[in-house]
Amino acid sequence: MTRETAKTRVEDGFLRSREMEVLERVRAIPEGFVRTYGDVSPGAPRFAGTVLFHVDEPDLPWWRVVRADGSLAKGDRQRLLLQAEGVPFNGSRVDMKRARLPETV
């Protein structure tokens, strides 16, 4: 994705299969759980961040994607959304042992 296509809507038809795979994985994260950027984009966690940054899809649960150490890329805004869903924290980080969605799901 380039700067010119920033904040592209999914229905605009721009997104290719790799981007769609990331978005499908994000949509599949149930309330109360999280996945890491690497979980939704295996081998390329920064790609997941780029996709999430550029997509303007109001119903996409972007807040359920966190860093591998449980820290939050979007700070308090993300924390409030996760807490509202009952995601457990250890201090300022998500408790990954309890909140990370198992690989089998």
Summarize pLDDT for 38-55 with one digit per residue, the tens: 999 999 999 999 999 999
Query: Distance between CA 83 and CA 18 in Å, rounded?
Result: 30
- In this model, does residue 5 exceed pLDDT 50? no
Torsions phi, psi for 19 (to 5 deg): -65, -40
Query: Distance between CA 62 and CA 56 in Å, rounded?
Result: 10
The ranges assigned to domains in the chain are 3-99
Query: Distance between CA 93 and CA 88 in Å, rounded?
Result: 9
Ranges assigned E (strand) in 1-81? 35-36, 65-66
* CATH class as words, domain 3-99: mainly alpha
Summarize pLDDT for 23-42 with one digit per residue, the tens: 999 999 999 999 999 999 99
- In this model, does residue 8 exceed pLDDT 90? no
Separation of first and last alpha carbons in the chain: 29
